């Protein structure tokens, strides 16, 4: 069973989309129930994979290595490590929640919506466990189409602009990564022996004579650009607020919960291991951009008047912390980055879910249109507060653990990286203490803008008479929020 478990985990959502496809489009209830069952099965499989994973075992487990296109050295190669299996569990967990968020909010083209969600689930799971660069690129690009449809078909008024902007940003950067992958394919093997196998390429790149220093620098930048757009890192983040604001709740949950993590995953899986010396060379610049993203995202969140846009900019700040942890290259910071990714996926996804719930009732996300709604929806306000406190990293929450480890790891990170650039190459200098100190202000700013939003939306008198009749959380909404 273990030989097929990973294949089953990846392709179960796509296979279960077939019965959904056969159902009539007019049977919206049956379509939703069938898709929910499929999502729950997918979550169960990712949970089984997570529980079966042995942290003390081999680096990659449940590996699959089958030929696909023999003449080109393309294989069906899968495997998971600790980070991949954790992110796959997060993907499986958020799938049913994303679907439940659309239950009554979306009434048009329900069948197409359900199939898009299931196809997207397979693409995301596949990208996390692909150990063949060609296969990884297929999954990476396959994510774009259903996500484009989620924004462009079921989004708000300005959805086409946001969907096209999302697609162009991510696709253009991915083309550069494809060029880099093809270059590696040619340079890391002799004619007739070339392969897209991750471990084969990694071993070849471990030999200094494989690539020149200039080639390693440019190839790292090609991979880094594709992943930095997906994170997104400052200043490549401009597609994200538009995508979040225009996307339906399901799209925002998946975008914040999973897709943004793909960028960080790409850095850790491909860019840094393939080119550790180039990563060391560009590490100061990337760390500075991460810190700028933390401060910029926090300040932009503070001035927003739209709840969804506020949370969208907070993602820029939170993922800035994650990238700082990755670039610190220390055990504490790397561990904190994983914790922060998982916490951000759950807490920010939940915030988008709750904003979607209240939007269904009022059809507005403007902070000024609320005030005092805790008096009429106390359960909603209580859940919102708990999730908000986790998002800002209150001590005792998972968010605190991640941010604390990242800052501690950055403070103590050595300037000299494990794999320095070639002799004679001057390594740019940046003070890790200064970076950590500036980044710490993002923790304070995060508490300010989140608690300010909560105070303006939830507390005080009910400022608008139309909000006096707001319903509290329903059973279905509790099922989505409760986990």
What is the DSSP code string of 327-342?
HHTSHHHHHHHHHHHH
Q: What is the mean pLDDT of residues 427-449?
A: 83
Across 34-44, average pLDDT: 92
What is the three-class DSSP state of 428?
Answer: coil
- Percentage of the chain exceeding pLDDT 90: 26
Mean pLDDT of 42-50: 93
Alpha-carbon torsion angle 395, 400, 405, 408, nearest 10: -60
394 in a structural domain = yes
* Predicted local distance difference test score (pLDDT) of residue 37: 92
pLDDT at 483 over 80: no
Q: What percent of the chain has pLDDT over 70?
A: 94
Span 241-257, average pLDDT = 87
Task: Say what the pLDDT of residue 291 is.
Answer: 92
The model's confidence at residue 378, banded by pLDDT at 50, 70 and 90, is confident
Q: Residue 68 has what pLDDT?
A: 86
Dist. CA 58–CA 462, nearest whole Å: 58
Whether the bond into 232 is cis, omega within 30 of 0 = yes
**Residue 253 is assigned to a structural domain of this protein:** no
| 56 against 420, higher pLDDT | 56
pLDDT at res. 98: 87
Whether the CB-CB separation of 108 and 3 falls below 8 Å is answered with no
For 401-416, the pLDDT digits (tens) are: 888 888 888 887 766 6
Q: Is residue 142 part of a domain?
A: no
Residue 219 has pLDDT above 90, yes or no: yes
pLDDT score for 294? 93
Please report the pLDDT score of residue 192 as a whole number: 56
The predicted pLDDT at position 180 comes to 92
Contact 102, 249 (CB under 8 A): yes
Phi, psi dihedrals of residue 116, rounded to the nearest 5° = -60, -40
Question: Residues 78-88: pLDDT tens digits?
Answer: 999 888 999 99
DSSP state of 77: E
Mean pLDDT of the chain: 86
Q: Is the pLDDT reported for residue 191 higher than 60?
A: no
By the 8 A CB rule, do 123 and 142 touch? yes
Mean pLDDT, rounded, for 233-253: 87
In this structure, of 29-33, 356-360, 426-430, the range with the lowest mean pLDDT score is: 426-430
The verdict on residue 3 lying in a domain is no
Ramachandran category for residue 471: left, alpha or beta (phi over 0 → left; psi -120 to 50 → alpha): beta
Which residue, among 465, 458, 328, 292, has the nearest Cα to 382 in the 3D structure? 458
Please, are residues 157 and 137 in contact by the beta-carbon 8 Å criterion?
no
What value does the mean pLDDT take over residues 145-156? 88
Number of domains in the chain: 1
In a domain, 327, yes or no: yes
- Mean pLDDT, residues 467-480 taken together: 76
Give the per-residue pLDDT at 426: 59
Does any domain span residue 37? Answer: no
Residue 432 pLDDT > 80: no
Query: Does the pLDDT of residue 303 top 80, yes or no?
Result: yes
pTM for the model stands at: 0.88
Of the listed ranges 101-115, 188-202, 422-436, the least confidently predicted one is 422-436
- The reply to whether 93 falls in a domain is no
In this predicted structure, the answer to whether residue 72 has a pLDDT above a threshold of 90 is no
Work out the average pLDDT over 243-248.
87
What confidence score (pLDDT) does residue 422 get?
Answer: 66
Q: Does residue 389 belong to any structural domain of this protein?
A: yes
Look at residue 109 in the predicted model and tell me its pLDDT.
84
**Reported confidence tier of residue 423, pLDDT bands at 50, 70, 90:** low
Q: What is the pLDDT of residues 388-397, one digit of tens each?
A: 888 888 887 7
* Predicted pLDDT of residue 125: 94
Write down the pLDDT at residue 133: 92
SS3 (DSSP) at 57: coil
Nearest to 288 by CA among 248, 328, 250: 328
Residue 68 DSSP class = E
Task: Check: CB of residue 371 under 8 Å from CB of residue 456.
Answer: yes
Q: For residue 2, what pLDDT is reported? A: 58
For 59, other C-beta atoms within 10 Å of its C-beta total 10
pLDDT over 80 (residue 398): no
Q: What pLDDT score was predicted for residue 120? A: 93
Predicted confidence (pLDDT) at residue 425 exceeds the cutoff of 80: no
The two tokens of residue 247 are: 């996307």
**SS3 category, 79:** strand
Domain span holding position 329: 275-483
pLDDT of 396 reads 78
Taking 60 as the threshold, does the pLDDT of residue 265 lie above it?
Answer: yes
The answer to whether residues 195 and 73 touch, using CB atoms and an 8 Å cutoff, is yes
Using the structure block, give the residue that is written with the tokens 């800052």: 407
Average pLDDT of the segment spanning 88-114: 85
pLDDT score recorded for residue 414: 67
pLDDT at 295 over 60: yes
Q: What is d(CA 292, CA 111) in angstroms, rounded to the nearest whole number?
A: 42
Confidence of residue 381 (pLDDT cuts 50, 70, 90): confident
| DSSP helix/strand/coil, 167 | helix
- Identify the CA nearest to 181 among candidates 137, 115, 212: 137
Element (H, E) at 67: strand 61-69
């Amino acid at each position: 069973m273990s030989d097929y478990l990973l294949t089953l985990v990846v392709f179960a959502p796509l296979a279960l989309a077939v019965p959904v496809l056969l159902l009539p489009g007019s049977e919206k209830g049956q379509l939703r129930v069938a898709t929910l069952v499929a999502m729950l099965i997918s979550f169960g499989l990712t949970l089984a994979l997570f529980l079966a994973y042995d942290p003390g075992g081999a680096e990659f487990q449940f590996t699959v290595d089958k030929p696909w296109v023999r003449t080109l050295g393309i294989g069906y190669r899968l495997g998971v490590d600790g980070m991949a299996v954790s992110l796959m569990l997060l993907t499986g967990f958020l799938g049913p929640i994303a679907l439940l968020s659309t239950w009554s909010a979306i009434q048009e083209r329900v069948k197409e919506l359900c199939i898009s969600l299931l196809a997207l689930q397979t693409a995301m799971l596949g990208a996390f466990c692909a150990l063949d660069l060609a296969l990884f690129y297929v999954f990476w690009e396959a994510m774009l189409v259903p996500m484009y449809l989620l924004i462009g078909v079921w989004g708000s008024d300005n959805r086409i602009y946001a969907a096209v902007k999302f697609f162009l940003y991510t696709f253009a950067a991915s083309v550069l990564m494809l060029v880099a992958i093809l270059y590696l394919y040619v340079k890391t093997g002799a004619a007739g022996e070339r392969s897209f196998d991750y471990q084969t390429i990694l071993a070849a790149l471990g030999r200094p004579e494989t690539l020149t220093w200039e080639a390693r620098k440019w190839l790292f930048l090609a991979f880094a650009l594709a992943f930095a757009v997906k994170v997104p890192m400052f200043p490549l983040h401009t597609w994200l607020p538009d995508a979040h604001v225009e996307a339906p709740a399901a799209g925002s949950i998946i975008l914040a919960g999973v897709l943004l993590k793909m960028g960080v995953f790409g850095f850790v899986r491909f860019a840094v291991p393939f080119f550790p010396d180039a990563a060391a060379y560009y590490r100061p610049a990337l760390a500075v951009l991460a810190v700028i993203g933390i401060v910029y995202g926090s300040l932009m969140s503070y001035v927003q008047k739209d709840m969804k846009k506020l949370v969208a900019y907070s993602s820029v700040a939170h993922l800035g912390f994650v990238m700082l942890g990755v670039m610190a290259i220390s055990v504490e910071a790397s561990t904190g980055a994983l914790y922060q990714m998982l916490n951000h996926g759950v807490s920010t996804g939940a915030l988008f879910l709750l904003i979607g719930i209240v939007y269904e009732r009022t059809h507005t996300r403007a902070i000024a249109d609320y005030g005092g709604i805790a008096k009429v929806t106390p359960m909603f306000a209580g859940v919102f507060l708990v999730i908000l406190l986790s998002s800002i990293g209150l001590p005792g929450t998972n968010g605190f653990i991640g941010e604390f480890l990242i800052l501690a790891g950055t403070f103590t990170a050595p300037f000299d990286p494990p794999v320095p650039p070639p002799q004679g190459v001057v390594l740019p200098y940046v003070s890790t203490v200064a970076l950590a100190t500036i980044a710490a202000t993002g923790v304070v700013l995060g508490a300010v803008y989140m608690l300010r939003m909560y105070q303006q939306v939830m507390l005080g008198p009910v400022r608008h008479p139309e909000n006096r009749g707001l319903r509290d959380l329903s059973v279905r909404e509790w099922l989505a929020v409760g986990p």
